[in-house]
Amino acid sequence: DVKVTQSSRYLVKRTGEKVFLECVQDMDHENMFWYRQDPGLGLRLIYFSYDVKMKEKGDIPEGYSVSREKKERFSLILESASTNQTSMYLCASMGGDEQFFGPGTRLTVL
């Protein structure tokens, strides 16, 4: 079975902290994605990666960076968390034309 895991289901951080959200897939997929989900806005693409050490900006990259040192792992980094980054973060990997999603991390920034 396809599996995408995210390091935390719930996370609470303070303004200004550096935050790491980790995502791991076990399907040997090359393409991985980070989205944020907000009520009334749906899902919006933050960053994606075609391969190790490659990254591309999505629609809302400001305030975020990513790291892809290994094929199976794609990390989202908030360099200095702000309250407007409180959201649900979803990671996905892609096989064929289908994206497989992790369960999400609900991040609250106080």
- Contact between 34 and 91 (Cβ < 8 Å): yes
The residue range among 17-25, 31-39, 61-69, 70-78 that interacts with another protein, by the rule CB under 8 A, is 31-39
Is residue 85 part of the contact set for another protein (CB under 8 A)? no
Among 15, 56, 70, 80, which residue sits at the site for another protein (rule: CB under 8 A)? 56
Closer CB to another protein, residue 31 or residue 86?
31
Beta bridge mates, 17: none
Coil, strand, or helix at residue 105?
A: strand
Nearest Cα to Cα of residue 24 among 65, 68, 83: 68
Single-letter residue type at 83: T
- Note the residues at the interface with another protein (CB under 8 A): 4, 30-31, 33, 35, 40-45, 48, 50, 56, 58-59, 90, 92, 94, 97-104
